[in-house]
Structure 1
Amino acid sequence: MVSTFHGLELGKRGLSVGQASLSTTGQNIANVNTKGYSRQQVNSSASPSLSVWTAQGANTGQLGTGVTIDSITRVRDRFLDQQFRDHSETLGQWQAKQTTLDRLETIVNEPSDSGLNSAMNSLNSAWQDLANEPDSLSAQAIVKERAQGFVEVAQSMNKSMTNLKSELTQQTQEAVAEANDYLKQITELNKSIVRNGNQSNDLKDKRDALVEDLSKLMAVKVDEKSDGSYSISLSSNKQALVAGEKVSEIDVDSVTTNPKSYGGKLAGLGASMDSAIHYQDKLISVVKNFTQANTMTKTGGADQALFIGDADNFNLSELKVNYAAKPLKQPAATDKPSEDAQSYFRELVSELGAESQAAISSVTNHEATLQATENRRQSVTGVSLDEEMANLVKYQHSYNAAARLVSMTDQMLDTIINRMAN
């Protein structure tokens, strides 16, 4: 037989679900502008029914007992989350490359009136003036001054490229430290989520935000276990980084040795280092060929060449102008080797410009792709004020109706208890 207080239980359960739904909606509205917040929803289902007597006999009827709250979960799309992480990793890689190439273009500073090509042209012009007036002391002095200007420009570029390589090394160390910090924080959140239960929505939001930051640094694959913890590994070789409550930190040496396997900004910094080394080597080759074309010797002196340097073990930072040389005479075969050196430098500038433009285009394209993915993801997990306001009205009516059911049942019980005896 159904309890006399069955209606009160129905109403109470309706009130509980309505109150939870209203509170969850309020939570969504309050966090509409909170970065990393995932929209939450109350999942409910009909509670088990009671068997009742009917005209057909025992246990032939089912009487509902109301509603029960199953869970309060975040609204997420794992596929879109992984897509976002993948695009974020690719963008981070190209941004690191583009930043370095932009720095290299600034260092090379071509075309300009103060770059290396202009310095080489100025020295060639000074040689021509000396050829017209071989005995002119001022013409000889100008050749040496133009040569000194060439050396200063070349050494300044070389020093800037060396500094850039040092900065890239430091950035790699900082990125590795940052990645390890993210891994440790994710591991700690794994512990908290397992301890507090799989419905720890706020903790999961914090963890997902850390995973997204981590994906900018390297390419990762994320698997969620049944207890709510994350297992994280490298996408390239499945190297385990986080396994539940265990963390495996990465080290700078492994990243420097094989940056491509890590992806993201770490791979971009590795490629940036390769570019810096490549263009510095080309610069040194240009300077060496040009100085040799304009005569270079290991020792200075009146009867020696214009430049002082070791052709066999060329060191650009030690290159000097031989001010003691006199009288200066233009080498017989200066034109062709000098032109070849300048042509090689123009090739360097063209290669750098093309690579930089390709990097800028890639960054632009991947930014657009990432934004499109984020828009699709926000359409699922983001908070819509219009939708939440509509839910607010719906849940309010549901709550009011459940409250009315309790009041009506109370009146019925009052009639039975207090009035039937009269």
Structure 2
Amino acid sequence: MLSTFHGLEVAKRGIFTQQSALYVTAHNIANANTPGYSRQRVNFVETEPFPPASMNRPQIPGQMGTGVEAGSIQRIRDSFLDYQYRNEASKLGYWSTRSEAIAKMEDIMNEPSEFGLSQAMTQFWEALQDLSTNPENEGARAVVRQRGVAVAESFNYLYSSLSQIRDDLGQEIKTGLLEVNSILKQISELNEQIKAVEPNGYLPNDLYDKRDALVDELSKYFQVKVETVPSGGNALDIAEGIYEISLVNQDGSTVKIVTKDSYSKLSVSPSISGDPTNPDGYISEIRIEDVLGNITTISYNKFDSLASGRIKSLIEAYGYGSDPDNVKGYYPDMLADLDKMAYSFATMFNAQHREGYDLNNSNGVDFFEMNVSDNTTGKGAAASIKVSDVIMSDLGKIAASSKSGESGNGNNALYLSMIKDVQITNGSATLPSGSGTTVSVPITGGTVQTFYQGLIGKIGVDGQQAERMKTNAETLATSVDNNRQSVSSVSLDEEMTNMIKFQHAYNAAARMITAIDEILDKIINDMGIVGR
């Protein structure tokens, strides 16, 4: 037999449940513009019917419903779309960083332009050709010296500017890893909070949102894999559990950086000093240290295996290797090529200049001076090249003549202007004077001019590729995020519809209480009074 107040209890449950739904709707509306917020919904669940199946159940025609309750408040999220977005975000982080690094290099190289190294060298060759027709003219000699200074200073400027940008990239790596470590710590702390709530049967949706927003941010720095571990206790089936996060390599292998109980800290070795005067900075390994002090390393020869992300791109630009003499990377390669070019140019020019004669009928001296640590690579040439002190103090020391005693002979100046066209074969160059003299240089083929053109061409091609891939990654990331937002974001129109729906249901449940109250009033006050 149903109780007298059964109807009141059913209606009361309806009121409370619709009220909960209205509160959740209000929460959604309030957070419609909150970044990272996922809309929430109340999962309505029918309560147990009466009577339950038993031997002594009352004899009524069938089970009667007992109303509704809010079974859970669940956020709406698609984990597959999250996975897709994070993959695209890591690719975007990689290509946007690479594009920025190459764009900065293009700005420094500034080619083609009237202020670049190419133009400085062209003016130097032209000044030498003018000197060949006026070898005794002091003005022509002064122009050659000044144009030589301009070439040397162009090399110096390019090297110092690129080194400064490279140092900035190193600082970005340090800052990026600090940010990564901060994110890992926050994710671990959120894991602990979620671990304390879920076993009690609650869904900490707002904590889930904060954690996912942090994982989204982390995916810009590294490609990551997220796995969930149940928090135990009386957690609901739809509870999302604890996140365990791993770095992903291109072959699918992973390195764990967040576990259910702790997180790791990332650093690089050798540490980045931040000293712009030290051009030999490099990274030999990424170190992953857990709370127990156990260290996992990703060595320099495995950096290429990292799937993607901003940190990988920064390391590739900054430089990595086993030691300072074996460093690869976009900026180290360019600096090394500038050294090769400067050393090859100056070595050939000096050798030809020494074959000539100055106004005092003395053999020519070195026109350029350099402080080089390795003749096979020309290391240090671009940073240190300058016009020699002898030439700077005495214009007569410029060896324009090819024969002693013939100060009006400008053939050697002409030969000097032909250095730009000297073909280099297997690191050997024959001087244009016809003397048969050969010199060894770091450039292995072509000419100094074509070598530089190749450098500029490579920057242009690499820059176009990086920009194209960045655009593609942006398009894909935006597309996936739009799909994700269509699932998770708050639609005010939809929430207004829900608000009206829940309000009507609330009003109907309240009206039901009024109706049952009238029924009970009739029973209590108007029945059993016959004959009174």
TM, length-normalised to structure 2: 0.75
* CA distance in structure 2 between the aligned counterparts of 1:384 and 1:286, rounded to whole angstroms: 61
Q: Does 1:247 align with 2:247?
A: no
SS of residue in 1 equivalent to 2:51: strand
Q: Does 1:267 align with 2:312?
A: yes
Q: Name the counterpart of 1:199.
A: 203
Q: Name the counterpart of 2:420.
A: 338
| Aligned counterpart in structure 2 of residue 390 of structure 1, from 475, 493, 497 | 497
The alpha carbon displacement at 1:337 in A equals 4.0
The alpha carbon displacement at 1:310 in A equals 5.5
Could you tell me whether the CA contact under 8 Å between 2:126 and 2:417 is conserved in 1?
A: no
The alpha carbon displacement at 1:284 in A equals 1.6
Q: Name the counterpart of 2:478.
A: 371
SS of residue in 1 equivalent to 2:124: helix
* CA distance in structure 1 between the aligned counterparts of 2:523 and 2:351, rounded to whole angstroms: 117
Percent identical across equivalent pairs? 36
- Corresponding letter in the other structure for 2:365: Q
SS of residue in 1 equivalent to 2:245: strand
The 5 Å alignment of 1:125-204 reads 125-197=126-198, 198-204=202-208
Q: Does 1:308 align with 2:366?
A: no
Q: Name the counterpart of 2:77.
A: 76
The alpha carbon displacement at 1:335 in A equals 5.1
The 5 Å alignment of 1:283-322 reads 283-295=338-350, 303-309=364-370, 313=375, 314=378, 315-316=380-381, 317-322=383-388
* CA distance in structure 1 between the aligned counterparts of 2:84 and 2:464, rounded to whole angstroms: 26
- Corresponding letter in the other structure for 1:169: G
Q: Name the counterpart of 2:213.
A: 209
Unpaired runs of 5+ in structure 2? Answer: 232-240, 270-284, 287-298, 319-328, 355-361, 392-396, 401-411, 422-446
- Corresponding letter in the other structure for 1:154: F
* CA distance in structure 1 between the aligned counterparts of 2:203 and 2:398, rounded to whole angstroms: 87
* CA distance in structure 2 between the aligned counterparts of 1:103 and 1:214, rounded to whole angstroms: 25
Greater percentage in helix: 1
Q: Greater shift after overlay, 195-204 or 169-178?
A: 195-204
* CA distance in structure 1 between the aligned counterparts of 2:91 and 2:181, rounded to whole angstroms: 20
* CA distance in structure 1 between the aligned counterparts of 2:34 and 2:388, rounded to whole angstroms: 67
SS of residue in 2 equivalent to 1:252: strand
SS of residue in 1 equivalent to 2:74: strand
Unpaired runs of 5+ in structure 1? Answer: none
SS of residue in 2 equivalent to 1:250: strand
* CA distance in structure 2 between the aligned counterparts of 1:289 and 1:81, rounded to whole angstroms: 53
Deviation string 1:12-43 (CA, Å, 9 cap, x unpaired) is 11011100111111111111111111000000
Deviation string 1:364-399 (CA, Å, 9 cap, x unpaired) is 111111111011011100111111111111101110
Could you tell me whether the CA contact under 8 Å between 1:52 and 1:61 is conserved in 2?
A: no
- Corresponding letter in the other structure for 1:213: E
Could you tell me whether the CA contact under 8 Å between 1:115 and 1:153 is conserved in 2?
A: yes
The 5 Å alignment of 1:58-77 reads 58=59, 61-77=62-78
Could you tell me whether the CA contact under 8 Å between 2:102 and 2:463 is conserved in 1?
A: yes
| Aligned counterpart in structure 2 of residue 233 of structure 1, from 237, 246, 249 | 246
* CA distance in structure 2 between the aligned counterparts of 1:131 and 1:52, rounded to whole angstroms: 113
Q: Name the counterpart of 2:522.
A: 415
The alpha carbon displacement at 1:303 in A equals 3.7
Could you tell me whether the CA contact under 8 Å between 2:128 and 2:413 is conserved in 1?
A: no
The alpha carbon displacement at 1:324 in A equals 2.1
Could you tell me whether the CA contact under 8 Å between 1:11 and 1:406 is conserved in 2?
A: yes
* CA distance in structure 2 between the aligned counterparts of 1:366 and 1:380, rounded to whole angstroms: 21
- Corresponding letter in the other structure for 2:420: S
Deviation string 1:344-371 (CA, Å, 9 cap, x unpaired) is 1011101100100111111111111111
- Matched pairs, number: 418
Name the structure, 1 or 2, with higher relative contact order (CA <8 Å, separation 6+).
1
SS of residue in 2 equivalent to 1:199: coil
**Cα distance change on mapping 1:327 and 1:202 into 2, 3 Å:** closer
Deviation string 1:255-284 (CA, Å, 9 cap, x unpaired) is 383544263101111222211111111122
Q: Name the counterpart of 2:36.
A: 36
Deviation string 1:120-173 (CA, Å, 9 cap, x unpaired) is 111101110111011112212211111000000110000011112211111111
TM, length-normalised to structure 1: 0.94
Alpha-carbon RMSD: 2.2
Could you tell me whether the CA contact under 8 Å between 2:219 and 2:309 is conserved in 1?
A: yes
- Corresponding letter in the other structure for 2:341: V
Q: Name the counterpart of 2:274.
A: none
- Corresponding letter in the other structure for 2:32: V
- Segments ≥4 residues shifted beyond 4 Å: none
- Corresponding letter in the other structure for 2:483: R
Q: Does 1:328 align with 2:344?
A: no
Could you tell me whether the CA contact under 8 Å between 2:132 and 2:413 is conserved in 1?
A: no
Deviation string 1:315-335 (CA, Å, 9 cap, x unpaired) is 222222125241422367545
SS of residue in 1 equivalent to 2:43: strand
* CA distance in structure 2 between the aligned counterparts of 1:57 and 1:414, rounded to whole angstroms: 26
* CA distance in structure 2 between the aligned counterparts of 1:155 and 1:70, rounded to whole angstroms: 71
